[in-house]
Every structure is written in structure tokens, then in C-alpha cells.
Amino acid sequence: MIIPAFDFIDGEVVRLYQGNYSNKKKYDIHLRSCLEEYQLKGVKNIHLVDLDGAKNSCNRQLEFFKKILSCTTIPIQIGGGIRTEEDISKLLNLGIEKVVIGSSVIKNKNEVKKWFEIYGADKIVLALDVYIDSNNNKEVYIHGWKKKSKITLEEIIEYFSPNGLKHVLCTDISKDGTLLGPNIKLYKELSNSFKNIKFQASGGVGKLEDIISLKKTGVDSVIIGRSLLEKKIRIEEALQCWQNE
């Protein structure tokens, strides 16, 4: 599945380079028209990131997301500073399909386990941002990639697997926003090691060949942000490419 991604600050579509809030680019996009086009062309899922909420949970853009949901029937997953059961309930009550959990996966593991019990594994996506060292250790970073957790991606997956973990969004930090190509080796390893997990690959997609390569790794979905926003790839090309491979 191809999943277009939009990141928001104060209701505006932006992209941060390598997660840096001081290095952001704004995009002049009419979101309603864009979502209508995506729906007509067959997009099955949208990924949204609340960068305001990620920075400060008091600034969550709930009213803005409510408007987005009112103008599309495409299932939407949202991430960005989701730290409490209340955060999840508010988003799901708005009509969000899935919540994307990042830093809490590391900081509040027991709490996240409870969320699996309350909401079910289909409603939760674990977002694991990794830096891969020279020994191929996939170290998870949190707080917008500022802090190393000293826990590996594999350890997290194994920890939550007894809870029925299904969805993992994995980003190679070194690739995100670069358009320089995804880490094919990483996704091939993950798909082979954890066959019950539906992996969402994120980071580095800059051309159609990247989509073909990712499909071959066995991942369930590819999240595409910057290359769609900057029209390096057209959505119909991306969808066709995924379907034909």
C-alpha cells in the first residue's frame, strides 16, 4: 500500500529535515483538494503527523484534524506526541483509524501494553525510528531523534508481540527527507525476521524504482512524504507501480 504523508505545524503542511524544527519547509497545498484527488485515484490510507502535539501535547491540533476528517473517507492514521490513554481516545473518537505511538513505546512500555488490551492491535502502530550502527544494531531513538534509547528495534517488537502487535512504522533516521533512496537491506531483514508484522517503510523514497525495491522486501506499505509534496513522484504513478510489482 502507498501511504501519502503530511506533517503539520499550526495547520500548515511542512517538512522537517532530519527531524529538526529549525530546518523546516512550508508547502502551499490545498489539503481538501489534495485528499479529494487522492480518494479518486484510489489511495487507501493517509499518514498525518501533528508536530505541534509532538512538541507540546497541550498544543494538539484536534480541531484542525476534525476538519480534515470531515472532508475525506480515506482511513487516516495520526502520530505526534501521543502519550496518554486520553490522547488516544480523543483521536479515535474523532474518527481516526489508527494512532501512531512513538516515544511512549520506550518510556512507558507497560502503559502501551495496556493500550493494546483496551483498543486492540489493529488501532495501534508502533513508530520506531532507528539509527543503524556499524555492527548493524538497530538502535531506537526518541524525542524527535534527539535521544538514543539503548534499546533495539528487535527488542521492542519481541516485547510487544505477545500483545498481538501487527503494525510497525520503521524509519531509518539517516534516510528521512533526503530523497536518496530507502534502506532496502533493513526492510528485507525485518520482513524475513517478523513475518506476522505489517511493516510500514518510511524514509528516503525519491523515485519510482525505490517503490519497486521496497515492494520486493515484503513490507506491507510505503509512506511517502516529500517526493509527493514536491512532485518528484505523482500519486497515480506510485499506486500503479505498487500494484504492478
Q: Is the dihedral of CA 71, 225, 57, 122 positive or negative?
A: positive
User: Please, what is the Cα angle at 231 between 100 and 27, to 5 degrees?
Assistant: 65
Q: Which residues, including other chains, have CB under 8 Å from residue 20's CB and lie 6 or more apart?
A: none
Q: What is the DSSP string of 159-205?
A: HHGGGT--EEEEEETTTTT--S---HHHHHHHHHH-TT-EEEEES--
35: which 3 cell numbers? Answer: 485528499
Residues labelled as active-site residues: 7, 129
